Amino acid sequence: MRDAAQTHSRVLDPAAMEADLPEQDGHHRGLLLVNYAVSATVAEACLATGRDLWALAHNRHTPADAVARLARHPDPRVRERVAARADLDPSLLAESAEDPDDAVRTRTRVQPLPRTWEQRDAIDRVAGRTAEDIGPLAEMLAEPDPDWYSACALSEHSLLRRVAATFPGLPEELVARLADDHDPDVRHLLAYNHPLAPPGTVLDAFVATPRQRPYLLTLARLPRTGLRHLLHHEDPEVRALAAADNTLDDPPVHLLTDPDARVRRAAASNPLLPLDLISTLLEDPELAEGAARNPGLSADRLHQLLDVSGLPRAGAR
């Protein structure tokens, strides 16, 4: 505990930070300038050389006079960081709201004062990226108040609704509201992050965001049935999901010759296939893996496959 207390005290000690700050660029210098208390000397050196200004604008411990100068810096990325601060002076807020850069104006207007740093961090996690880039999010070290997330869900700003969609504690009635949001990023973030996201929303996210499919396939709420309308989808991963649907009107025999191997294997695993056809597929090196997964196989047939694979039965010598 003594070591932890000493480390925390150095985070808030600008003289200690100044003494520890390396001259060369690197992870350690960036870590200090983003998170640790900033002395007036360090702030002035950064401003004089134009160095590390984004970090200085982000750091919640940067002196107020330095923040005011950063708010008028030519680089819009620096001004945007100032516009997101929780301690932004109302006069600077008014200036930033009329900034010539759209990103600065948006970040200023999306969140009126008063703000918290936790809210700033929650917005940072989704700002400027698509839902597919963001994906499922882990819980933050310090989360904003749940009521704030609920207010975000009702906001006219799509950025704040996206933030709300990442919160797994959002009430069910707001989940239903966001599931019908006109912004696809809101719906997709909801699919990735909320346990009550409707199955249809999760399926839409699967179809629309290929890079998140490995994660979405782990979710029980991703529909595995009722997928007939996707059997001829242009994306083979989507066809493969539909090919395994055991509620199709007809066995997906035609997909056993699909151009994509994933689709062929998924079709071979569908229990709607006739048993004699499944047995035939077990002899096909390309489709045997899918056929061996087929729940239509009897226990005796599965034991035979294990025998052929060289795995002894229980109690066998």
Which among 91, 112, 170 has a CA at the least distance from the CA of 137? 170
Residue at 266: amino acid letter: A
Residue range(s) defining the domain that contains residue 56 = 31-114
The rounded distance, in Å, linking the Cα atoms of 185 and 227 is 23
The two structure tokens encoding residue 51: 């160095």
The rounded distance, in Å, linking the Cα atoms of 38 and 18 is 7
In-domain check, residue 23: no
Statement to judge: residues 158 and 218 lie in one domain: yes
Q: Where are the beta strands (DSSP E) in the chain?
A: none
Statement to judge: residues 152 and 106 lie in one domain: no
For residue 105, give every residue at least 6 positions away whose Cβ sits within 8 Å of its Cβ, in sequence order, or none.
96, 97, 98, 99
Statement to judge: residues 212 and 181 lie in one domain: yes
pLDDT tens digits, one per residue of 51-70:
999 999 999 999 999 999 99
| pLDDT, greater one: 136 or 294 | 136
pLDDT (0 to 100) of residue 267: 97
Task: Check if the beta carbon of residue 265 is closer than 8 Å to that of residue 243.
Answer: no
In-domain check, residue 4: no
Number of domains in the chain: 3
The rounded distance, in Å, linking the Cα atoms of 146 and 46 is 37
Statement to judge: residues 50 and 127 lie in one domain: no
pLDDT (0 to 100) of residue 315: 60
Of 84, 114, 144, which residue sits at a domain end?
A: 114
- The answer to whether the Cα torsion of 6, 10, 16, 17 is positive or negative is positive
Query: Mean pLDDT, the chain, as a whole number?
Result: 93
The rounded distance, in Å, linking the Cα atoms of 96 and 105 is 6
Statement to judge: residues 139 and 110 lie in one domain: no
Q: pTM to 2 decimals?
A: 0.89
The rounded distance, in Å, linking the Cα atoms of 169 and 162 is 14
Statement to judge: residues 139 and 174 lie in one domain: yes
Of 61, 79, 114, which residue sits at a domain end?
A: 114
Of 222, 256, 274, which residue sits at a domain end?
A: 222
Statement to judge: residues 257 and 277 lie in one domain: yes
The rounded distance, in Å, linking the Cα atoms of 229 and 218 is 22
Statement to judge: residues 109 and 122 lie in one domain: no
Point out the least confidently predicted range of 102-111, 244-253, 269-278, 291-300: 291-300
pLDDT (0 to 100) of residue 230: 98
CA distances from 185 to 74, 166, 192, 204 (A): 31, 11, 11, 11
The rounded distance, in Å, linking the Cα atoms of 165 and 175 is 8
pLDDT tens digits, one per residue of 257-267:
999 999 999 99
Task: Check if the beta carbon of residue 168 is closer than 8 Å to that of residue 194.
Answer: yes
In-domain check, residue 259: yes
pLDDT (0 to 100) of residue 154: 98
In-domain check, residue 314: no
Statement to judge: residues 214 and 248 lie in one domain: no
In-domain check, residue 24: no
In-domain check, residue 102: yes
The rounded distance, in Å, linking the Cα atoms of 149 and 143 is 10
Share of the chain above pLDDT 90, in %: 86
Task: Check if the beta carbon of residue 248 is closer than 8 Å to that of residue 255.
Answer: no
pLDDT above 60 (res 272):
yes
In-domain check, residue 6: no
Statement to judge: residues 215 and 122 lie in one domain: yes
Statement to judge: residues 173 and 254 lie in one domain: no
pLDDT (0 to 100) of residue 303: 75
In-domain check, residue 173: yes
Task: Check if the beta carbon of residue 41 is closer than 8 Å to that of residue 65.
Answer: no
The rounded distance, in Å, linking the Cα atoms of 12 and 177 is 42
